[in-house]
Amino acid sequence: MSKLLILNGPNLNLLGQREPALYGTDTLADVEALCRRAAERLGCSVECLQSNHEGVLLDAIHEAGRAFKAGALLGVVLNAGAYTHTSVALHDAIKGAAVPVVEVHISNVHAREPFRHHSYLSPAAAGIVVGFGVDGYVLAIEGLVRRARRAAPAP
Ligand code: DQA
């Protein structure tokens, strides 16, 4: 079965209690269950990982690159949280691992503080979903699956 990695970065473990006016009331466990259901509807499975540590996210992207190359992974849905706006290392990891990554933000970062308007990840991403709340994860999953099926149509 085709697999996707759902990768969440710093502070996303606080979803549900963290600034609900911006991020809603769903917990990370709710979001991961939403992703699992969305993937299953498309005949896929998900692996979910959240970390507050940049190096753990880097290692996960490297591993995803290996799995993608081996044909065991379709791609990565990545909400890198604040590392989006600071991390050259994540940019380099996405490029270096050569795995399709869809960058997701729950909030519309472009309607927020100017320091959130720049993303180091966007130039390396296969696609970007911003401002649709947690439904953005579902849109990203659909985008990755459609992209993979376009590249390798079913016989
Ligand atoms: C976020 C937006 C980032 O600017 C912020 O640092 C987050 C969450 C979002 O999902 O809207 O942690 O990535």
The 3-state DSSP class for residue 31 equals helix
* Residue to substitute in 107, 130, 135 for testing ligand 1 pocket (most ligand atoms within 8 angstroms of CB): 107
Kindly report the pTM of this predicted structure.
Answer: 0.97
**Ligand 1 pocket, mutate which of 105, 116, 117 (most atoms under 8 A from CB):** 105
Q: Is 109 in the pocket of ligand 1 (CB under 6 A)?
A: yes
Query: How crowded is residue 108: how many other Cβ atoms within 10 Å of its Cβ?
Result: 13
Contact 89, 54 (CB under 8 A): yes
**What is the distance between the alpha carbons of residues 44 and 141, in angstroms, rounded to a whole number?**
10
Work out the pLDDT band at 1, boundaries 50, 70, 90.
low
How far apart are alpha carbons 140 and 148 in whole angstroms? 12
pLDDT tens digits along 59-71: 999 999 999 999 9
Is residue 62 within 8 Å of residue 113, measured between CB atoms? no
